[in-house]
């Protein structure tokens, strides 16, 4: 037990002196890193611009209210496109994520040395690049429009879905798989009757979860020209049409909230 002597009396401590010193050292390093980072940000900021931030906010808020309600009739198509990007993107991503997940899971991969690293690389590289960057790239390949956004969302979602799915596959109950094997089932039958039923709830949960995230992400893809409501946002921002901007932001907010509500309901029903 860590003790220290104080006036000839033994006093209990939470940690030994060394452990305490290491903790203080870690805190010191962390604090120094933070202060240094803050100084860098501060040095790159024009602070005299901040004097009239209040006025700027009041000015923009004044211009943005009331939202241009009549503009909502023109938003039907962009909202439909945004939903299409999110939904179809999720479906394509799942179609591609399932084989990747089975190749990446330790218990189903055909080869741990050759195939698994490749599958993991696919997962990491698609996951670490944001959908906006994918969209930027695809706009320059397939041209601006919904298609670029759709492919961007699909690629971005592969890694996410495959990662969660392969973790679910690795956690399956081996006993059930063995029971199916014991009946003389072929590998394909083992897959369909032993593994798939066990990961089905996780799969459905992942699908809805990713769909919810994709709605959020597809609302901004238009900023780089990849279709959806972001396109309307971008064109309104470019001409500083603040009433339209505020209406679009409201529509996005409503779409996101509805998406989250649906996803929570469906996940609640599954689990």
Contact footprint for another protein (CB under 8 A): 30, 33-34, 36-38, 40-42, 44-46, 49-50, 53, 56-57, 60, 80-81, 83-84, 87-88, 91, 124-125, 127-130, 132-133, 136-137, 140-143, 145-147, 150, 193, 197, 200, 204, 216-217, 219-220, 223-224, 233, 237, 249, 252-253, 256-257, 260
Residue 155 · residue 115 · CB < 8 Å: no
Give least dist CB 6 to another protein, A: 21
- At its nearest, how many Å lie between another protein and the CB of residue 193? 7
> What does each C-alpha distance from 141 to 85, 87, 125, 134, 144 come to in angstroms?
17, 22, 19, 11, 9
Pick between residue 132 and residue 177 the one whose CB is nearest to another protein: 132
The CA-based dihedral angle spanning residues 67, 71, 75, 77, taken in that order and rounded to the nearest 10 degrees? 180
- Residues 76, 232: Cα–Cα separation, whole Å: 11
If the CB atoms of residues 8 and 202 are measured against another protein, the closer one turns out to be 202
Nearer to another protein, 60 or 68 (CB): 60
Cβ of residue 96: shortest distance to another protein, in angstroms?
16
Cα–Cα distance, 138 to 144 (Å, whole number): 8
Least distance to another protein, CB of residue 7, Å: 25
Q: Are strands 3-6 and 9-12 parallel, antiparallel or unpaired?
A: antiparallel
Q: Is 75 or 129 the residue whose CB approaches another protein more closely? A: 129
Smallest separation (angstroms) from another protein to the CB of 13: 15
In the complex with another protein, the residue whose CB is nearer, 111 or 140, is: 140
**Can you say whether residue 143 is alpha, beta or left, with left for phi > 0 and alpha for psi between -120 and 50 degrees?**
left
Q: Are 228 and 81 in contact (CB under 8 A)?
A: yes
- Closer residue to another protein (CB): 103 or 122: 122
Class of residue 210 by CB neighbours under 10 A (exposed 0-12, middle 13-18, buried 19+):
buried
In whole angstroms, the minimum distance from the beta carbon of 175 to another protein comes to 19
């Amino acid at each position: 037990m860590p003790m220290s002597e104080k006036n000839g009396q033994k006093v209990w401590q939470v940690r030994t002196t060394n452990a305490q010193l290491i903790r203080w050292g870690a805190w010191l390093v962390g604090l120094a890193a933070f202060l240094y980072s803050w100084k860098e940000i501060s040095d790159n900021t024009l602070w005299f611009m901040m004097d009239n931030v209040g006025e700027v906010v009041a000015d923009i808020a004044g211009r943005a209210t009331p939202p241009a309600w009549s503009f909502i009739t023109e938003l039907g198509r962009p909202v439909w496109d945004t939903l299409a990007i999110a939904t179809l993107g999720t479906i394509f991503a799942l179609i591609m994520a399932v084989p990747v997940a089975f190749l990446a899971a330790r218990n189903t991969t055909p080869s741990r040395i050759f195939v698994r690293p490749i599958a993991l690389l696919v997962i990491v590289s698609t996951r670490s690049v944001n959908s906006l960057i994918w969209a930027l790239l695809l706009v320059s390949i397939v041209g601006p429009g919904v298609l670029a956004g759709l492919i961007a969302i699909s690629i971005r979602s592969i890694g996410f879905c495959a990662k969660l799915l392969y973790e679910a596959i690795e956690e399956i109950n081996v006993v059930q798989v063995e029971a199916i094997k014991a009946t003389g089932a072929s590998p394909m039958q083992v897959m369909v009757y032993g593994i798939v039923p066990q990961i089905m709830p996780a799969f459905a949960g992942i699908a809805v979860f990713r769909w919810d995230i994709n709605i959020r992400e597809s609302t901004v893809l238009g900023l780089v020209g990849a279709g959806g409501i972001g396109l309307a946002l971008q064109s309104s921002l470019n001409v500083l049409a603040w009433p339209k901007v505020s209406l679009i932001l409201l529509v996005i907010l409503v779409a996101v909230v509805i998406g989250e509500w649906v996803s929570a309901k469906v996940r609640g029903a599954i689990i």
